[in-house]
Amino acid sequence: MLGCISLIQIASQIKYKYCYDKFDIKASYNTVNVFEKFEVTQYLWNNKVKGYINQDEYAKRDTTNKDIEDDIDWIKDKVISETCHLSHNQFIKENKPTLDRIDNSIGHTKQNCQLSYQICITVKADKDNDISKLKIQLMNYAIHEHLPMIINNESVYNMLKECMQGGLSNEYHQCNLKGIAPINKLRYNHVTKTITSYDTQHLITHNLDLDFNFLYPSVFSGIFTKNNPNTNHRIFQAGGLTSYFQCISNNSKQKARDAIMSDDRYTDKRQLFSVKIKGHIDEKHINSHLKLAPI
């Protein structure tokens, strides 16, 4: 009861209650847009079986019953017909299958194994099955519903941090009055290495996007507005990181093109992306590119 006295804590609980109101632990929350079926090859299965046998021998489990060793048809049918028993999602190239033992005291056999994602096995480890399933499903639900998540990739965090404005960083305040306030611009001085704000001779004739929830970036998401078409007419806070790569090869460059030119870019299935391009602008041309002031 003491933890619910604070109004801030109560507001936080109400917020998360609304976020997870439709959560169903038995539902399937597909978090990958491209569904390319996973195919089991003989080479892959041989390496998998060797790993399972090494695990059982290291843990001193009975390894005399090796019924999974030479039966590749069994695992192929299992991958096609079944889903991950923890997340209820199908197996694709992005989420490969592995065998999860039902009874940890027994080795890897057909009767003692069920399929699971590799990441789900890592989360579960030797913990309680029901609690692990709840955590995994909550994570999948948060990704599926684009809820804000912690970004634990330092490279991505630093890249996004460079683009953050507002809060404790530099802020730019201006009172815009229709027909009264002049249009303000910025000018870079390459001699003094400074940026100067100055008023032009033109007056502001229209004010757009007066909704504070839309203008300020530190919100879950903004209301619909026709003035922001590049992100489906909304402003979004980063939900969670799905991938990060540098364009250092032809394959990675093509992967970047596929993300930028995706058919789902302007649909509800889209994934937002942030791009950092290294370039150089000569000082004498900076004023031609210095268009937007910081928030």
pTM: 0.51
What mean pLDDT is reported for the chain? 75
Q: What's the mean pLDDT in 27-40?
A: 70
Compute the distance between CA of residue 127 and CA of residue 181 in angstroms, rounded to an integer.
63
- The CATH fold assigned to 24-144 is Herpes Virus-1 (3.30.40)
Say if residues 151 and 281 touch (Cβ distance below 8 Å): no
179 confidence band (pLDDT: 50, 70, 90): confident
Domain ranges for the chain: 24-144, 160-289
Say if residues 197 and 184 touch (Cβ distance below 8 Å): yes
Q: Determine the pLDDT at residue 33.
A: 52
The token duo for 40 is 């089991």
Q: What's the mean pLDDT in 44-50?
A: 86
217 confidence band (pLDDT: 50, 70, 90): very low
The fraction of the chain above a pLDDT of 70, given in percent, is 74
User: Is the confidence at residue 246, as pLDDT, over 80?
Assistant: yes
The token duo for 183 is 């249009």
Compute the distance between CA of residue 15 and CA of residue 192 in angstroms, rounded to an integer.
49
Q: Determine the pLDDT at residue 222.
A: 55
